[in-house]
Amino acid sequence: MEQHSKVGNFGDLLKVLLDEKELSMGELSKKSGIDKSTISRIANNKQRPNINHLEKMAIHLNINLEELLKASGYEFRNSNNQIFNADSDFSNFDDILGFANLINDKNFNGNIEKELSKCKLYVQTDEGKKLLFDNFNKKIDSIEKQGQFTDRLRQMYADFCTDGLTIKKYLLIGSMLLYFVISTDVIPDFVFPIGFMDDLVALNIVTKLLKNDK
């Protein structure tokens, strides 16, 4: 990682990583599903990689996603949290929120907050509620790695289905659950937990709001 920190820009870092793994851009394209021309533009600093690109590269280049995020310009808060990779199981719920809280990119977090606001409105409609009730169990059961993340969502769903919530909590929890169900594509789901990074950040946002409501 020390060697990588001396690389001046993301494109040069990508070339270094490809050289280290003895991979061509074409081979990375086949492994990751990213178009070869897109990889070429990223490597030549003609296109900024999005988070979906970065999470795929992290897996197939065997490098921590956090390092790629930082190299591509995403800001992180200072933190003592461990650097997570695709093998992290997030067995502790505090680790989930800790990872989500590392990201300090205003555009990224802002986009998720906007989507949560849309979901808050939608979950108040009969159509939104039906979408949530019809799809939640199917969506959460499809996640290969079950753990604290899925347990937390299941508990939120159970709470949502009761009559004991205040209106504010009902809408906050409902917005999170609906966001999870409808996959708003701030980041396409790819692999748990990295592919659910936007869900982790959304969960972090809603959890903070719920704590503030106490």
Instruction: List, for residues 8-39, the tens digit of each pLDDT value.
Output: 789 999 999 999 999 999 999 999 899 999 99
58 and 160 assigned to the same domain: no
Q: What integer pLDDT is reported at residue 103 of this predicted model? A: 54
- State the CB neighbour count (10 A cutoff) for residue 198: 25
117 and 163 assigned to the same domain: yes
Q: Is residue 130 part of a domain?
A: yes
Average the pLDDT over 64-88 and give the result: 61
Q: Is residue 87 part of a domain?
A: no
Q: What integer pLDDT is reported at residue 151 of this predicted model? A: 87
| Number of structural domains found in the chain | 2
The fraction of the chain above a pLDDT of 90, given in percent, is 39
Q: Is residue 12 part of a domain?
A: yes
pLDDT of 83 > 60? The answer is no
Average the pLDDT over 57-82 and give the result: 73
Q: What integer pLDDT is reported at residue 89 of this predicted model? A: 43
pLDDT of 118 > 80? The answer is yes
Lowest mean pLDDT among 82-91, 123-132, 138-147, 148-157: 82-91
pLDDT digits (tens, 9 = 90+) for 136-150: 999 888 876 667 778
Q: What integer pLDDT is reported at residue 201 of this predicted model? A: 74
The residue ranking higher by pLDDT, 184 or 168, is: 168
Q: Of the candidates 20, 39, 71, which is a domain's last residue?
A: 71
pLDDT of 86 > 50? The answer is no
The per-residue pLDDT of the chain, averaged, comes to: 78
Domain encompassing residue 29: 2-71
Token readout for 14 is 């990508």
Q: Are 100 and 197 spatial neighbours (Cβ–Cβ below 8 Å)?
A: yes
Taking alpha carbons only, the member of 193, 157, 207, 209 closest to residue 66 is 193
129 and 30 assigned to the same domain: no
Q: Is residue 191 part of a domain?
A: yes
pLDDT of 67 > 90? The answer is no
Q: Is residue 189 part of a domain?
A: yes
99 and 183 assigned to the same domain: yes
Going by pLDDT thresholds of 50, 70 and 90, the confidence category of residue 167 is very high
49 and 13 assigned to the same domain: yes
Going by pLDDT thresholds of 50, 70 and 90, the confidence category of residue 75 is low
Q: Is residue 139 part of a domain?
A: yes
Q: Is residue 63 part of a domain?
A: yes
- Tell me, what CATH number does 10's domain have? 1.10.260.40
